[in-house]
């Protein structure tokens, strides 16, 4: 392989070919593909990003944008000798604008750093996910991240007023700024959000901020399974006179995985058997006993078997940790195949019923279900049995996936609620997007990146 271009590029911008860096920056959280990038570049500002892209366009070099590498769909994987472009040095973090409640930040600032930056003003960027310590604002926007507060605030795309984006030919676009109302033609900023690094590289963003919720109430409730969890949600929505911040679900085996991997006790105390499932509910505001009244009602109706109410912020953190640590804990148990699906909340019971009866038995391993129940979003994880060969396992999962996607198609659901398509879910795209829509996506891609050099092979093939 000719590598002269790497030396040439390395003379202009910080670049690494260290084997450890190639391994680290050539992959995300998925473990399906072997990382094989040619090199990793670390631009220090947007102009350097443009210079790199222009250089790569001229030399026909494929580029993979890389954020915090917490992605779960192999969107940031470089397995074909691509150049990885890390955004981690774009770390300018501006002051909060106290009039418009906005904040301008470099793409490489982590989600958590943004939260900490605004917290002392009683403000937050309400995009909140368990990977917040590592995922970056650029990655959050490139994936249109969801997370635990979508129920209340919606996805990341609702919390952006401006975006700076570098195109593959080196053009730098400034799409909006801190102005809140701005209807001037088609919104290219929204086109870039969620495009998984195939249309442009986000270098900077102006984020909208929300008031940090005060008087947080957190309940951790034992339920008899998904249907009971959904019934509880219906009750909370209709009878609960309170604002839900989060409504999260986890099956018993997910809870067991957290207890084992993190070495923590059962949230319900004692050494008795765990319930079939648990629901974590967060509610905001002063409630004047409303939450207690609701809890009494659902206990009386036997929708809840057991429950805990957080009494302090330490309690809140402790209970949230059971939910936040699921992905990481499952990862420690062994190889996992992941699906991240959604259906209308009202059809979730029907979906789960068919999933359990018809689709689950076709997967070559045990299913671990958890997710953002309030959004109709379930993470379906399949554990590789220790005796099964990995290739055989992935192949078996792929076959079962097709049945899962057929079911989703029938119910009008989505094959990717939050994680995106990347490399991993390409075969699923057609179940949630029609041929004309995919053709239009391809046309947009070709207009911006005619040679297909930016994050090639992700989302669809050209
Ligand atoms: C424990 C855990 C919990 C998670 N929980 C959630 C959750 O609740 N909700 C959710 O939505 N996701 C969740 N995720 C997935 C992941 O954290 C999100 O998709 C996140 O937004 C990815 O950000 P990142 O910076 O890590 O991006 P990366 O993984 O580095 O990249 C993701 C994609 O974006 C592209 N990209 C990255 N930066 C840029 C940029 N600056 N410009 C253009 N393209 C770019 C990459 O090429 C890739 O296609 C979770 C992951 C983990 C490990």
Which tens digit of pLDDT belongs to each residue from 95-110? 999 999 999 999 999 9
pLDDT at 287 over 80: no
Which is the closest atom of ligand 1 to the Cα of 141? 21
Which tens digit of pLDDT belongs to each residue from 257-268? 999 999 999 999
pLDDT value for 246: 95
Instruction: Give the span between the Cα atoms of 216 and 238, in whole angstroms.
Output: 20
Tell me the angle at which helices 313-324 and 326-333 cross, rounded to the nearest 10 degrees: 40
Q: How far is the CA of 131 from the centre of ligand 1 (A)?
A: 8
pLDDT value for 380: 97
Q: How far is the CA of 419 from the centre of ligand 1 (A)?
A: 7
pLDDT value for 2: 67
With a pLDDT cut of 90, the percent of the chain lying above it is 93
Which tens digit of pLDDT belongs to each residue from 216-255? 999 999 999 999 999 999 999 988 889 999 999 999 999 9
pLDDT value for 270: 78
Instruction: Give the span between the Cα atoms of 439 and 111, in whole angstroms.
Output: 33
With a pLDDT cut of 70, the percent of the chain lying above it is 100
**Exposure string for 143-175, b = 16+ CB within 10 A, e = fewer:** bbbbbbbbbbbebbbebbbbbbbbbbbbebeeb
**H or E, element range at 390:** helix 390-411
**Closest of 265, 279, 256 to residue 333, by C-alpha:** 256
* Mean pLDDT, the chain, integer: 95
Kindly list the structural domains of the chain, giving each domain's residue range(s) and its CATH number in brackets, ordered by start.
Answer: 4-86 (3.30.43.10), 102-211 (3.30.465.10), 217-327 (3.30.70.2190), 334-419 (3.30.70.2740)
Instruction: Give the span between the Cα atoms of 310 and 387, in whole angstroms.
Output: 41
**Whole-structure pTM over 0.75, yes or no?**
yes
Spacing of C-alpha 425 from chain mean position: 14
DSSP per residue, 232-257:
HHHHHHHT--SEEEEEEEEEHHHHHH
CB atoms within 10 A of CB 443: 9
Which tens digit of pLDDT belongs to each residue from 353-411? 999 999 999 999 999 999 999 999 999 999 999 999 999 999 999 999 999 999 999 99
Q: How far is the CA of 353 from the centre of ligand 1 (A)?
A: 30
Which is the closest atom of ligand 1 to the Cα of 130? 3
CB atoms within 10 A of CB 120: 9
Q: Which residues form ligand 1's pocket by a CB distance below 6 Å?
A: 28-29, 64-72, 75-76, 87, 107, 129-131, 135-136, 138-140, 142-143, 145-147, 196-197, 201-202, 327-328, 418-419, 422, 455, 458
Which is the closest atom of ligand 1 to the Cα of 417? 11
Which tens digit of pLDDT belongs to each residue from 148-181? 999 999 999 999 999 999 999 999 999 999 999 9
Which tens digit of pLDDT belongs to each residue from 188-226? 999 999 999 999 999 999 999 999 998 899 999 999 999
Q: How far is the CA of 235 from the centre of ligand 1 (A)?
A: 33
Which tens digit of pLDDT belongs to each residue from 415-457? 999 999 999 999 999 999 999 999 999 999 999 999 999 999 9
Q: How far is the CA of 401 from the centre of ligand 1 (A)?
A: 22
Q: How far is the CA of 327 from the centre of ligand 1 (A)?
A: 14
pLDDT at 94 over 60: yes
Which tens digit of pLDDT belongs to each residue from 326-346? 999 999 988 999 999 999 999
The pick from 40, 77, 139 for probing ligand 1's pocket by mutation, whose C-beta has the most ligand atoms within 8 angstroms, reads 139
Longest Cα–Cα distance in the chain: 73
Distances (CA, A) of 331 to 83, 189, 193, 325, 361: 27, 34, 28, 10, 22
Taking CA atoms only, the protein residue closest to ligand 1 atom 23 is 139
Q: How far is the CA of 151 from the centre of ligand 1 (A)?
A: 19
């Amino acid at each position: 392989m000719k590598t002269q271009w790497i030396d040439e590029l390395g003379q202009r911008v910080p670049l690494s070919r260290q084997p450890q860096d190639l391994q680290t920056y050539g992959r995300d959280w998925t473990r399906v593909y072997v990382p094989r990038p040619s090199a990793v570049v670390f631009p220090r500002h947007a102009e350097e990003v443009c210079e790199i892209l222009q250089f790569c366009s001229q030399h026909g070099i494929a580029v993979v944008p890389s954020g915090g590498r917490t992605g779960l769909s192999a969107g940031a994987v470089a397995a074909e000798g691509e150049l990885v472009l890390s955004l981690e040095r774009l770390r300018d973090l501006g002051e909060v604008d106290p009039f418009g409640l906005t904040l301008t930040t470099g793409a490489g600032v982590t989600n958590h750093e943004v939260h900490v930056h605004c917290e002392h003003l009683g403000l937050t960027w309400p995009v909140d996910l368990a990977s917040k310590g590592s995922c970056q604002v650029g990655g959050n926007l490139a994936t249109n991240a969801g997370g635990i507060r979508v129920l209340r605030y919606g996805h990341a795309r609702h919390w952006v007023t401006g975006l700076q984006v570098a195109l593959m030919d080196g053009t730098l676009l400034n799409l909006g700024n801190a102005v809140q109302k701005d209807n001037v033609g088609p919104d290219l900023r929204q086109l870039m959000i969620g495009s998984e690094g195939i249309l442009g590289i986000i270098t900077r963003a102006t984020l909208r901020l929300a008031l940090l919720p005060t008087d947080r109430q957190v309940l951790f409730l034992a339920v008899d399974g998904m249907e009971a969890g959904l019934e509880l949600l219906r009750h909370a929505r209709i009878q609960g006179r309170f604002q839900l911040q989060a409504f999260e679900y986890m099956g018993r085996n997910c809870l067991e995985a957290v207890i084992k991997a993190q070495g923590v006790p059962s949230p319900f105390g004692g050494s008795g058997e765990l319930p079939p499932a648990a629901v974590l509910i967060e509610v905001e505001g002063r409630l004047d006993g409303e939450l207690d009244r609701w809890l009494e009602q659902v206990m009386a109706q036997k929708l809840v078997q057991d429950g805990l109410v957080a009494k302090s912020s330490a309690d809140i953190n402790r209970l949230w940790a059971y939910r936040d640590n699921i992905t990481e804990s499952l990862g420690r148990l062994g190889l996992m195949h992941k699906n991240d699906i959604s259906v209308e909340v009202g059809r979730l019971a029907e979906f789960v019923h068919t999933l359990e009866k018809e689709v689950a038995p076709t997967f070559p391993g045990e299913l671990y279900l958890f997710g953002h129940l309030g959004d109709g979003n379930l993470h379906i994880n399949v554990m590789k049995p220790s005796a099964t060969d990995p290739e055989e396992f992935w192949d078996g999962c792929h076959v079962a996936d097709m049945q899962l996607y057929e079911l989703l198609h029938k119910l009008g659901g989505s094959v990717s609620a939050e994680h995106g398509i990347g490399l991993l879910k390409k075969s699923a795209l057609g179940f949630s997007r029609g041929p004309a829509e995919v053709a239009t996506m391809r046309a947009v891609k070709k207009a911006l990146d005619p040679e297909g050099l930016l994050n090639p092979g992700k989302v669809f093939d050209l």
